Amino acid sequence: MLPMTSPALTVVLPTDTTDSIRTVLECLRRQPDARRIEVVLVTPDPARVQKGLVDPGDFAAIRVVEVPSLSPLGPARAAGIRAATAPLVFLGETHSYPQAGWLKCLLETFATGDWDAVACGMTNANPGSLTSWAGFLADYGRWIPTLPAGPIDEAPLYNAVYRREVLLALDPRLDGLLSHGDGLRIALQSKGCRAGLAPGMRLAHLNVDRPPAALRERLLAGILIGSQRAGRWPLWRRFLYAAAFPLIALVLCRRILPGYRSACRAGGVPLGTFPLILGLQSARAFGEFLGYLGWGRTRHQTEMDDFEIRKLDHCVRSPA
């Protein structure tokens, strides 16, 4: 562990190896004033991760937190939050890369606004593929940097910054709320928490660019979301949403339409992206249908977590 200063931000990164987060750490290290960042690495194999930290860099501290497993990821992220010491917590991923000026914008945003959660301005880390663009906009089309700064309905579950005290107030439900689904959004909104978008806080996200893998990832996401909702919804509501699943893809596409149009105006989005977005969202909608009917299994969670931790294994192109 490096000597402790007084961190302003804790970056929580679940990982299996140091190699999986080497690029993320380098992006953080290049941030001016990086000594204000505390890094919390959550892993089932601390010895392996610590051995790989040959050059920790100029952070406030690097902590390694042991968990039994990275699947499901919700409890792993919650363990990282509980170990954090900074007032702000960024829930990072092995495949999301802070860009130049990210930390400066982050600190300024929280210093000048009364936010409980702030979404980054998301960019595409591997933009050379139609499938990558479709997956990126399907996931993050509501939080791209060409959209205006200010209040939003919700921040994404991951790749967002939260006030640590707000998250800790949700214990002991935090493990489940940090898994796939809308549980965290509902919990925060019920407490009147405010979310904002900071377009200048740019974060490049790597996306699956192999079409079969992209469809599988979307199906798994739908199964997990449907299963989580099924656990708290009455039977009549589960069956109602299952019956209406063909409409879910249209609702999902409608949500990202402003961001899609904004991205197209900015340039770089390939022709034919929107039909593929519709295809991906249809796969997610069918997954939700399966989840609502109780067909979700532990293996679906395990497979999805593999996508999350080892995203690069499912990509043809590396980050640009």
- State which residues form the domain around 45: 9-205
Contact yes or no for 259/144 (Cβ under 8 A): yes
Last residue of a domain, one of 184, 205, 226: 205
**Does some domain include residue 124?**
yes
> 286 and 196, same structural domain?
no
What's the rounded Cα separation, in Å, for the pair 192 and 124? Answer: 31
Residues 225 and 281 grouped into a single domain? yes
Counting every residue written for the chain, the total comes to 320
Q: Decide if 242 is inside a domain.
A: yes
User: Do 197 and 216 reside in the same domain of the chain?
Assistant: no
Number of other CB atoms surrounding residue 308 within 10 Å: 17
Using CA atoms, how far apart are residues 320 and 126, in angstroms rounded to an integer?
Answer: 5
CA diameter of the chain: 57
The pLDDT, as a whole number, for residue 180 is 80
Please check whether residue 3 lies inside any domain of the structure: no
**215 and 200 co-located in one domain:** no
Mean pLDDT by 10 residues, the chain (320 residues): 70 94 94 95 93 76 95 96 98 97 97 95 96 97 97 95 97 90 91 96 97 97 96 95 95 96 95 97 98 96 95 80
Query: Within 10 Å of residue 32's Cβ, how many Cβ atoms?
Result: 10
Kindly give the pairing relationship between strand 195-205 and strand 117-124. Answer: parallel
Say whether both 128 and 183 belong to one domain.
Answer: yes
pLDDT at 319: 74
pLDDT of residue 166: 97
Q: Tell me, yes or no, whether 16 lies in a domain.
A: yes
Name 158's bridge partners: none
Together in a domain, 59 and 112: yes
Backbone angles phi, psi at 95, to 5 degrees: -125, 25
Verify that 91 and 230 share a domain, yes or no: no
> 231 and 307 share a domain?
yes
Domain boundary residue, one of 158, 181, 205: 205
pTM of the complete model: 0.94
* Residue 92 token pair: 């990072």
* 48 & 116 share domain: yes
Cα–chain center distance at 259? 17
Q: Is residue 2 part of a domain?
A: no
CATH code, domain carrying 38: 3.90.550.10
With contact defined as beta carbons under 8 Å apart, do 10 and 38 qualify? yes
* Closest by CA position to 2, among listed 33, 38, 32, 43: 38
Establish if 284 belongs to a structural domain: yes
Same domain, 146 and 77: yes
Domain count, the chain: 2
Do 234 and 309 lie in a common domain?
yes
Complete DSSP assignment for 88-99: EEEE--TTEEE-
Q: Are residues 244 and 189 in the same domain?
A: no
Exposed/middle/buried for residue 111 (C-beta within 10 Å: 0-12, 13-18, 19+):
exposed
In whole angstroms, give the CA distance from residue 295 to residue 202: 37
**Any domain includes 1:** no
Which of these three, 137, 170, 205, is where a domain ends? 205
- Is the backbone of residue 296 left (phi > 0), alpha (psi -120 to 50) or beta? beta
